[in-house]
Amino acid sequence: MSFIGSRHRSRSVVPGAGLAAGGLTRRGLLGAGGALAVGALISACGGEVGNGSGSGSGGDGGAWTFTDDRGTKVDAKARPERVVGYVGTAAALYDFGVDEQLVGVFGPTRLKDGRPDPQAGNLPVDRLEVIGNAFGEFNIEKYAALRPDLLVDTMFLANELFYVPAESKDKIFALAPSVAIAAGAVPLPKPIERTAALAAALGADLKSAKVTAAKARFDKAVEAVRAAAKARAGLKVLAASASPDLFYASSPGKNTDLIYLKELGVDLIVPDKVGRDGYFEELSWENAGKYKADVIMLDSRTQALQPKDLGGKPSWKDLPAVKAGQVIPWQPEPRFSYEGCAPILEALATSITSAKKTG
């Protein structure tokens, strides 16, 4: 998933690559896992963006504590009852069973027609206060009015909370403690497990039928991807994002889901000239064919250009994967829950299984 660029300044960033049709959005910061039981959650999330212990406790009127992936320990007199979060983080917590505590969100929540953005997942958007719907938008007055007990967010770069404006972060952090889940330079299972740990600390039941069923579906999808990759050995896959001026080739060395897909055997192309943060290589449209891919996973987020938008780019039409009809949607910023990632892995396994070599 493509996102990180100018570190939350005037240019928006997103894992993997990612610009909106109307201009630069957050560079696409860009799914999960093995035989771990749902209850056996990892307590440490290694990697570039954090090494917090991740322990959490509290509830039933007692004190509450949680150590996040910055190593920041939050101590509260009681379990947080009013939680505001980045939309993707809130949606993942909701999948794990955190519900009534969620009172507000920021980040891509509603489409122009008013419908929920896909990144909102299953969130009950109509009952939540949206304090910002795009990069750079964070209404501090609305946030303060929500009387937040806790801010939750995803972190793709060390100590930088996604979609929290750098110029106003001090004012925002002064209103409530924050918890950050690391999602850069770590394989997909890590942020899922850490989100689950936070959900449990907030009172969610990880042994519920819903969560255990989602975990089982996820594990099955993981094995489907592994089998598909083995059956189609040598099939070259490029994860990319499109903007009006640039074509982004995303790196499986930094993007959370791509790291994991490579571990599962997917033959992902590794760009050789990634940018400062290591998430992707910027290519002019004239050089979009630099990497010969049999399959292109194209950023499907609302801020990125889609195949229907690329008809005017001759170089796009000439790409082998495009000619072969082997362009598939890619969500560089998945919901870090088993429920959110299982369908993504299932669809990828199906696409790889049916794909052909183009040369």
Domain annotation for the chain: domains and CATH numbers: 19-31+213-354 (3.40.50.1980), 56-206 (3.40.50.1980)
Q: What does the pLDDT read at residue 184?
A: 86
pLDDT single digits (tens) 324-357: 999 999 999 999 999 999 999 999 999 999 999 9
Q: Which amino acid does the sequence have at 79?
A: R
**DSSP letter (8 states) at residue 251:** P
Average pLDDT (169-184) is 96
pLDDT single digits (tens) 206-236: 999 999 999 999 999 999 999 999 999 999 9
Backbone angles phi, psi at 272, to 5 degrees: -100, -5
Tokens standing for residue 144: 């303060």
User: What CA–CA distance (Å, rounded) separates 19 from 244?
Assistant: 8
Average pLDDT (164-182) is 97
Backbone angles phi, psi at 262, to 5 degrees: -65, -40
Tokens standing for residue 107: 């980040």
pLDDT band at 276 (very low <50, low <70, confident <90, very high): confident
Query: What residues contact residue 26 under an 8 Å CB cut-off, 6+ apart?
Result: 3, 4, 5, 8, 12, 13, 14, 18, 135, 162, 163, 303
User: What CA–CA distance (Å, rounded) separates 344 from 31?
Assistant: 8
Which residue stretches of the chain are H helix?
87-96, 140-145, 169-175, 189-201, 209-231, 256-263, 314-317, 320-323, 338-354
The dihedral region occupied by 211, where left means phi > 0, alpha psi between -120 and 50, and beta the remainder, is alpha
User: What CA–CA distance (Å, rounded) separates 336 from 181?
Assistant: 10
- Is pLDDT at 164 greater than 80 in this prediction? yes
pLDDT single digits (tens) 18-67: 433 333 333 333 322 232 223 333 233 333 333 344 455 655 668 999 99
Q: What percent of the chain has pLDDT over 70?
A: 83
- For residue 73, give Cα distances in angstroms to 56, 64, 183, 303: 9, 10, 18, 34
How many C-beta neighbours within 10 Å does residue 240 have?
A: 31
Using DSSP, state whether 50 is helix, strand or coil. Answer: coil
Name the pTM for this structure.
0.85
